[in-house]
Chains A and B, each alone.
Chain A
């Protein structure tokens, strides 16, 4: 069986295994880790969700968005600005999803309905995020404010109120509560994207990635489906931005900057393109490496990221998870080889998907 197209049963098992694993981390981490470790893991969860967004739009829709950080930043800023104005965090969370989606809808309309090539999409999304960075960076001074929220230019917005139980703005979540919110949201978003991919919508999106002309001849409009996928991913990135802002209680224009867009590409490339678990694992792995590298001052962390990116493109373009899956598959085949007539089952190897 081709590992790229797992059977439904194997796929469902992998999904359940991932869910169980996620739930175990969700409830286990507060008991195992100290507060510092838990806060760090909250950051990982936010960035893992950011990785999911890139993994979905690039791996499944085949849309080469090089500026996913634009949506992360928009989500973060939408949350920060609205929560400072409103107090209660329920509507700001929704806005952190809807604002990036609306922006993606507008941008995507021009890109997809203009039928520009994949490379152009990469360049335009990248350019948009760079210019958003410059724009927000230039908003220092008290004249740049939205309601009660000063944008603060390159200093960012400090002291962003944390999430609270709906309707109780005076009771913000503590650090443990934010962990449950972030990790819980990550699990929900993962399940949601799996559901999308299992549904007709996801099937069409993948079909268009595989062969755009054929999908179009069957009667699907690739422009529309790419736009939908692009907007969904933008919403996910926006929610990740909201969690990111909650994680440190702070947001600055660096969320829009190029290194952010590059990092999320690296998460996906390292973890595995065309999977959802891969980008999450990649996010945790790369962030842990960056933190480890950050404690030494000899070499700039960009150098390491650049080498990882070039190295993976040249040597392991399919990413770690598919490589591991392929290795496991070969192992299973070798073990089962003496028994002819029984095809290698992919149950074991697919559990990671």
Chain B
């Protein structure tokens, strides 16, 4: 029974991690139809921000939860203004350009900080599930992921900004006719997605080694979850994360994390064969 409890907790954590690493990618893809191949590197920058900030003596919670989204959001803004905005409507070119950015950021960080693995110590201890100990930090990930998902939902559903955002994505010309500047909205959306990637990097920094190439460990799962989720950002990310996160954790528990990733990928390819538009391409199409 204790084991079941622990396993359930791990599955929940896996789902939360997946939500966290996917949400930023999902916002940019769902809103702008841009597949941001630099997503993993934006996470990496978030993690470095957390490492640098704690090194400079900033409170660990601020260093993990507040600074990374701000810093990486700003970097996203700069990237959008200097590169991405020239490529709207050219999907393949945006993918190639973001891949270039990804390589460039890996190279830049390696040049600046060296190809070494750093870490942040976990700020909280552990608790017991029956006979087993579980990391309390997993609870932090769980809460952060759900808060981020909920915040995005509230932002898109109930604020004026969210309304303008959705309107621009549905029909940029009509939005422009009503006095919105679509380019501003695209800029804000990209920065928002980057900030979410930064948040994911910051929160995951304590449980993963922080190195220039760390993004590669996450992006495979993140991309596949976005594709599996389909066009509706919040529902899609939530549903696909739940499905793939459960598969990943359960298989990882039985075998190894790598086999868990293989199982996730296999499940995703089978799913996409049946539902080429992702889960929300067929079901719950009108959701957010």
Chain A residues at the B interface, C-beta cutoff of 8 Å: 64, 66, 107, 110-111, 113-120, 122-124, 126-128, 130-131, 133-135, 137-138, 257-259, 262, 265, 269, 298-311, 313-314, 317
Q: Given the complex of chains A and B, what is the CA–CA distance between A309 and B106 in angstroms? A: 14
**CB <8 Å contact, A116 and B272:** yes
A303-B104 in contact (CB<8A): yes
> Chain B residue with minimal CB distance to A259?
B103
B44 within 8 A of partner (CB): no
Please give the distance in Å from B188's CB to the nearest CB on chain A.
Answer: 22
Q: What does DSSP make chain A's interface, helix, strand, loop or mixed?
A: helix
Closest chain B residue, CB of each to CB of A126: B223
Q: For the complex, what is the distance from the CA of A111 to the CA of B220, rounded to whole Å?
A: 17
With beta carbons under 8 angstroms apart, the residue of A130, A137, A302, A309 that contacts B96 is: A309
User: For residue B38, which residue of chain A has the nearest CB?
Assistant: A306
- Give the distance in Å from the alpha carbon of A114 to the alpha carbon of B259 in the complex: 24
Select which of A116, A118, A134 is within 8 A of B276 by beta carbon: A116
B103 proximity list for chain A (CB < 8 A): 259, 262, 302-303, 305-306, 309
Q: How far is the CB of B55 from chain A (nearest CB, A)?
A: 22
Give the interface size class of chain B. Answer: 35 or more
B145 within 8 Å of A by Cβ? no
B111: chain A residues at CB < 8 Å are 298-300, 303
Whether A309 contacts B97 by the Cβ 8 Å rule is yes
Q: Does B92 contact A (CB under 8 A)?
A: yes
The 10 closest A-B pairs by CB, nearest first: A306-B104, A303-B107, A309-B100, A302-B107, A306-B103, A310-B100, A300-B110, A300-B107, A130-B220, A114-B273
Report whether A314 and B272 are in contact in the complex, using a CB–CB cutoff of 8 Å: no
Q: Is the CB of B220 within 8 A of A131?
A: yes
**B41: min CB distance to chain A, Å:** 10
Please give me the residue from chain A that is nearest to B115 by CB atom. Answer: A300
A301 — which chain B residues lie within 8 A by C-beta? 107
Contact A123 B101 (CB under 8 A): no
Partner of A119, one of B91, B104, B107, B262: B91
The interface residues of chain A lying within 8 Å CB-to-CB of B37 are 126
Closest residue on chain A to residue B265 by CB atoms? A131
Please list the residues of chain B having a beta carbon within 8 angstroms of any beta carbon in chain A.
35, 37, 83, 86-87, 91-93, 95-97, 99-108, 110-111, 115, 212, 216-217, 219-220, 223-224, 226-227, 256, 258-259, 261-262, 265, 268-270, 272-274, 276
Q: Which residues of A contact B223 (CB under 8 A)?
A: 123, 126-127
CB distance from A129 to the nearest CB of B (A): 9
Q: Are the CB atoms of B104 and A310 closer together than 8 Å?
A: yes
Q: Which of B96, B101, B107 is A299 in contact with, Cβ under 8 Å?
A: B107
A313 with B96: CB separation less than 8 A: yes
Q: What's the least CB distance linking A33 to chain B, in Å? A: 31
**Smallest Cβ-Cβ distance to A124: which chain B residue:** B269
B35 lies within 8 A of A119 (CB): yes
A262 touches B261 (CB 8 A): no
Given contacts A118-B92, A119-B35, A306-B100, contact A314 B224 (CB under 8 A): no
- Chain A residues, CB < 8 A from B273: 110, 113-114
Are A306 and B107 within 8 A (Cβ)? yes
Query: Which of chain B's residues have a CB closer than 8 A to the CB of A135?
Result: 258-259, 261-262
Interface core residue of A257, A308, A313, A314 (most chain B CB under 10 Å): A313
What are 22 pairs between A and B in contact, CB < 8 Å?
Answer: A64-B92, A66-B99, A116-B276, A118-B91, A119-B91, A120-B227, A124-B224, A126-B223, A127-B219, A130-B219, A131-B220, A257-B216, A300-B212, A301-B107, A302-B104, A302-B106, A303-B104, A303-B106, A305-B104, A308-B100, A313-B93, A314-B87
A258 to B101, CA, bound (A): 13
CB neighbours of A64 from chain B (8 A): 92, 95
Rounded to whole angstroms, the CA-CA distance of A306 and B103 in the bound complex is 5
Q: How far is the CB of A231 from chain B (nearest CB, A)?
A: 17
Is A127 touching B220 in the complex (CB atoms < 8 A)?
A: yes
Give the residues in chain B near A131, CB-CB below 8 Å. 220, 261-262, 265
A116: chain B residues within 8 A (beta carbon) = 272, 276
Residues in B whose Cβ lies below 8 Å from that of A128:
265
Q: Which of B91, B224, B259 contacts A127 (CB 8 A)?
A: B224
Given the known inter-chain contacts A128-B265, A130-B216, please indicate yes or no for A302 contacting B91, CB distance below 8 A: no
> Given A110-B272, A127-B223, A309-B97, are A304 and B107 neighbors across the interface (CB < 8 Å)?
yes
**Once the chains bind, are B83 and A310 in contact (CB under 8 Å)?**
yes
Say how far B254's CB is from chain A's closest CB, in angstroms. 15
Q: Contact between A303 and B108 (Cβ–Cβ < 8 Å)?
A: yes
* Contact between chains at B258 and A114 (CB < 8 Å): no
In the complex where A127-B265, A305-B103, A313-B87 touch, is A115 in contact with B270 (Cβ < 8 A)?
no
Which residues of A lie under 8 Å from residue B96 when comparing CB positions? 265, 269, 309, 313
Closest residue of chain B to A137 (Cβ to Cβ) is B258
